[in-house]
Amino acid sequence: MPHGDLKHTAIHEAGHFVTTYRLFPDLYPGHVSIIRDDEEGSLGHHLSGESPEWMFAKRDGVVQPERVEDWIVMLYAGVAAQLQFEPATGATGGSNDDELAAGYMSKWLGVADQSRAEVEARLRQLAAAVVKKHWTEIEAVAEELLHHPRLDGEEGQMVADIAAGQEGCTREGLERFRAMKAARCDEGKQLDAHSA
């Protein structure tokens, strides 16, 4: 995707993020960002951590095929969100996602190369459906990213919850959370200054 197109990047990353949140509420939320990461060669990251594979693929040490499928759905959700946003563009920018998805299909699901297209088509459809279902949340997270290019997982989840109309989740609550976080960091800096 063209590098200047931040809105598309935001929609793409928000697609990954909200899908992760809704399909894997048990996972550490990481963060969501539209800041260019040259080292990784990608425009944004939705999850932190080195290799989350064991977290999503297994439960009690046993591979859970439906969780692997959901993870692949999450990978397809970036491009699916772009297509939902602007069907005419023919979204690009998911080549890394596609590569990962193909790898997980063979590694965790044992999908042979010749049947991959079929599985891929089914999971892409699922991704489109999940994106559609949570579209308001994805749009809200994307909009937030345009003002705060890097959101903590908790912040991102709050934005999604507010957009989903979850009871007790408000913009004021989000701002309070941010203020609290900022205050905590200031305290840390003061402690550092003391010990220096």
Q: What does each C-alpha distance from 63 to 44, 58, 66, 74, 103 come to in angstroms?
A: 28, 4, 9, 17, 15
7 or 178: CB nearest Zn ion: 7
29 or 162: CB nearest Zn ion: 29
Say if residues 80 and 16 touch (Cβ distance below 8 Å).
no
Say if residues 157 and 21 touch (Cβ distance below 8 Å).
yes
Closest CA to 17 of 124, 153, 132, 149: 153
| Residue nearest to Zn ion as judged by C-beta position | 78
* Least distance from Zn ion to the Cβ atom of residue 176, Å: 31
* Least distance from Zn ion to the Cβ atom of residue 78, Å: 3
CB contact set of 80 (below 8 Å; sequence gap of 6+): 15, 124, 127, 128, 130, 131
> Can you list the alpha helix ranges (DSSP code H) found in 34-94?
53-57, 65-85
97 or 152: CB nearest Zn ion: 97
* Least distance from Zn ion to the Cβ atom of residue 94, Å: 5
Report residue 32: phi and psi, to 5°.
-135, 135
Measured between alpha carbons, how far is 91 from 127 in angstroms, rounded to an integer?
Answer: 14
Binding site for Zn ion (CB under 5 A): 78, 97
34 or 162: CB nearest Zn ion: 34
* Least distance from Zn ion to the Cβ atom of residue 97, Å: 4
* Least distance from Zn ion to the Cβ atom of residue 117, Å: 20
78 or 153: CB nearest Zn ion: 78
